[in-house]
Every structure is written in C-alpha cells, then in structure tokens.
C-alpha cells in the first residue's frame, strides 16, 4: 500500500519538541497529571493500578461516560481508540474499498484525505469558502454526493479554519447523506473548544449511518493520554473493534482510568471551561498582534480550537516562510501548503500568554528581515 505523506504531522512530529516556540499546536496547554488527579488520596490510589492490559474496546465505565455525551447512545455504540487519529484510521479502513468515492471537506486535518487515497478511494473535495466565512456551499455538496458516494467526511469544528458548520450546511449534509445512503464520518475533536458562542452540536443522532470521531486531545487538553473514540451503530462499532485488534489492541490501562476522571460530568464541564478561558485570554493577544500588522493579514475569526488561519500578503511561499521561521527563529507554525492552501499560515494560540507573545515576537523579527530584504531587492 502506498501512502501520501501526512505533511503537517511529519512537520510537527519532527520539530515540535525541539523548537523554542511551538505555535503549530491546535489544542490548549495540556493539563498536568497532578492537576487531573487533584487530591493526594486519588494520586495514591492511582499508584496502585497494575500496568496491565486494559479492556480492548475501552472499559465499560469509560464507554458509558462517552455514551452519555451522545443522545440515545449506549456503551455498545462506543469504541475507545488510541487518539482520535486511530479512530479515523479504523473508520476509513472499514469504509473505503478501491474505487469508492469519498467526499472530504477541505481544508481539513488531512488524515482522512490521505487515508482515502491510501485505501484506493477517490477524494471528491467539498470546499470551505473563505468568502462564506469558511462554510461550504450546500448546492456544491448536493452536486458532489451521488449514488456512488460511500461516505462524506467532515471536520466540525474545522481544523484549520476554526469555523463551526452553519445550520443550512448541517441540514444539507444530512439530507445528502440520507438521500444517497452515504456514511457520514464527522471528526468533532474540537467540539467543546468554542472560544465564543454555544457548544457545537454533534451531528450524532439524526441519521443511522453516522460515525462520530472524537477524543481528549484538543477540547480537553489531554493529548498525552492518547484517548479517542468512535460512536456509531453497535454492529458497525463491533466490526471496527475487529480492525482495532490489528492496530493497538487496547487503550493503555492508565489512560483509560484517567479518561474516566476527566469525563465525569462535573469534571468534564470544568475542563471545558478551562479550555474556553485559555482561548478567550489568548485570542485577545493574537487578535491585537494581527491588528498591529494592518493589512498584512486577513482572516475570519475562529469560533473554536486554539488556531487561527491567516491569509498573508507577503509574496512568499508558505512552506518557505515556515521553514525560515523554524531555522532562523526556532519557531514552528503550519504553512498553508500543508492544507493545499499556499498564502496562508496556521498559528496556534493555546499555550501560556508569555509563550505566545514571545513566539509572535519571533515571527515579527522574521517579518522585519523579510521587509528589509525586499527593500534591498
């Protein structure tokens, strides 16, 4: 099997732990283990856990907490995975046969775009339009989805734009999937990471052939747990578990228990409130910085996620810009090229305020040099 490189993940996994400022991350500052465990008694109890194999599809306790998030779902509707990235992999592996047409929302976290191709499917692009505040055109969707469409893969709230799907788009999506009998695969890993506005509504519950992907890495600030999940019809979830037997077997024992703590109803709301306050505080810093650059940047303010997708007027390729920033200023951002969109950069804003400010100062230093070079040319 040939794979297309997952450019953004290669870029991040190569550099994110060695740069001075990592502004490539799309989630908020991770919660320390001590903060998650909170009291000494809980920490003590935790130390007594055996480092054993855990239940392959997730413990019933964890699956029950996850099921609570989805109207009418039971633990049998849930498969716990190693990150939401594994959830996407299992879903696509199961769904895509060579020659299948899969409609993929773009731009997107490019995992599903790459997986469709790896499994021999054909990607049909459903474009988010900047002039529509990063919404797709419902007419375009209905012309893309045909009887040959096996699945429609969306990411809502969206990475990299931070946009949340509008009501008209949601309706058109469900109508199109239902009319043509296509599966709906919705990656909702930023659900709950809304900077403003109401909690994003999952597409779960309105249509039988729906698979929801989510996890604790973004809205919950717990990427190191590597806990993700799929919610779907029980018979499909049972089939997906069979694929999981070929990948990671089971979530790690400790992560499953820590996820139970994070998803207890009161605690999960506290965690999501923490995320929102980080986003509000840091977006103010980033928005000021953008404003100080006048017409250099244009953008649609993100609704969710610790990311801002900026169009820049510099006449420099986005990968070249990101590379110079990495090599000369030890600062990591994601070039628009990684989403097939040169002329944009994605800037992460989820870390501590001072860290964000210093990272942005490094970008400023490069911008000054670029201006000076242009002046000389």
Residues that bind ligand PLP (CB under 6 A): 26, 83-85, 109, 155, 159, 187, 189, 215, 217, 223, 228
For ligand PLP, the closer of residues 155 and 177 by Cβ is: 155
Q: How far is the CB of 8 from ligand PLP (least distance, A)?
A: 8
Q: Are 230 and 95 in contact (CB under 8 A)?
A: no
Q: How far is the CB of 81 from ligand PLP (least distance, A)?
A: 8
Q: What does the alpha-carbon distance between residue 270 and residue 102 come to, in Å, rounded to a whole number? A: 37
For ligand PLP, the closer of residues 21 and 339 by Cβ is: 339
Q: For the purposes of burial, counting CB atoms within 10 Å of the CB of 9, is it exposed (0-12), middle (13-18) or buried (19 or more)?
A: middle
Q: How far is the CB of 287 from ligand PLP (least distance, A)?
A: 22
Q: What does the alpha-carbon distance between residue 365 and residue 325 come to, in Å, rounded to a whole number? A: 9
For ligand PLP, the closer of residues 80 and 145 by Cβ is: 80
Q: How far is the CB of 306 from ligand PLP (least distance, A)?
A: 10
For ligand PLP, the closer of residues 158 and 331 by Cβ is: 158
For ligand PLP, the closer of residues 150 and 346 by Cβ is: 346
Q: What does the alpha-carbon distance between residue 150 and residue 121 come to, in Å, rounded to a whole number? A: 9
Q: Which of 145, 219, 150 is nearest to 189 (CA)?
A: 219
Q: What does the alpha-carbon distance between residue 272 and residue 264 come to, in Å, rounded to a whole number? A: 12
Q: E strand or H helix at 353, and its extent?
A: helix 353-376
Name residue, tokens 């008694």.
Answer: 41
Q: How far is the CB of 93 from ligand PLP (least distance, A)?
A: 15
For ligand PLP, the closer of residues 3 and 372 by Cβ is: 3
Q: How far is the CB of 140 from ligand PLP (least distance, A)?
A: 21
Q: How far is the CB of 222 from ligand PLP (least distance, A)?
A: 9
218, two tokens: 């973004």
For ligand PLP, the closer of residues 114 and 223 by Cβ is: 223
How far lies 359's CA from each of 23, 26, 27, 158, 304, in Å?
Answer: 7, 15, 16, 24, 21
Q: What does the alpha-carbon distance between residue 235 and residue 52 come to, in Å, rounded to a whole number? A: 28
Maximum CA extent, the chain: 66
> In degrees rounded to 5, what are phi and psi of residue 308?
-135, 130
For ligand PLP, the closer of residues 82 and 135 by Cβ is: 82
> In degrees rounded to 5, what are phi and psi of residue 124?
-110, 120
Q: How far is the CB of 350 from ligand PLP (least distance, A)?
A: 11
Q: How far is the CB of 374 from ligand PLP (least distance, A)?
A: 34
Nearest 10 degrees: Cα torsion 34, 39, 41, 47: -10
Q: Which residue is nearest to ligand PLP (CB)?
A: 83
For ligand PLP, the closer of residues 57 and 85 by Cβ is: 85
């Amino acid at each position: 099997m040939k794979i297309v490189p997952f450019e953004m993940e290669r870029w991040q996994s190569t550099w994110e732990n060695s740069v001075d400022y990592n502004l490539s991350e799309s989630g908020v500052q991770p919660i320390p283990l001590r903060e998650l465990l909170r009291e000494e008694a809980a920490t003590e109890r935790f130390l007594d856990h055996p480092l054993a194999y855990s239940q392959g599809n997730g413990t019933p306790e964890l699956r029950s907490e996850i099921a609570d998030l989805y109207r009418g779902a039971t633990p049998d509707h849930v498969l716990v995975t190693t990150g939401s990235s594994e959830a996407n992999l299992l879903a696509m592996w199961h769904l895509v046969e060579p020659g299948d047409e899969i409609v993929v929302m773009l731009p997107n976290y490019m995992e599903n775009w790459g997986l469709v191709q790896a499994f021999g499917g054909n990607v049909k692009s459903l474009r988010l339009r900047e002039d529509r505040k990063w919404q797709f055109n419902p007419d375009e969707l209905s012309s893309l989805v045909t009887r040959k469409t096996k699945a429609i893969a969306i990411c809502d709230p969206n990475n990299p734009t931070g946009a949340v799907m509008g009501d008209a788009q949601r309706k058109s999506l469900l109508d199109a999937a239902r009319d043509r009998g296509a599966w709906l695969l919705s990656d909702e890993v930023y659900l709950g990471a809304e900077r403003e506005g109401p909690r994003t509504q999952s597409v779960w519950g309105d249509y039988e052939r729906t698979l929801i992907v989510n996890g604790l890495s973004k809205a919950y600030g717990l990427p190191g747990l590597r806990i993700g999940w799929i919610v779907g019809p029980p018979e499909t979830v049972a089939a997906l578990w069979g694929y999981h037997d070929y990948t990671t077997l089971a979530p790690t024992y400790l992560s499953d228990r820590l996820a139970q703590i994070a998803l207890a109803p009161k605690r999960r709301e506290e965690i999501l409130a923490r995320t929102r306050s980080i986003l509000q505080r840091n977006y103010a810093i980033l928005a000021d910085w953008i404003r100080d650059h006048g017409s250099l940047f244009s953008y649609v303010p993100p609704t969710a996620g610790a990311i801002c997708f900026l169009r820049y007027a510099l006449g420099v390729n986005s990968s070249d810009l990101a590379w110079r920033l990495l090599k000369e200023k030890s600062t990591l951002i994601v070039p628009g090229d990684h989403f097939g969109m040169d002329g944009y950069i994605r800037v992460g804003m989820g870390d501590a305020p001072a860290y964000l400010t210093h990272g942005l100062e490094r970008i400023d230093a490069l911008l000054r040099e670029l201006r000076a070079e242009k002046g000389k040319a």
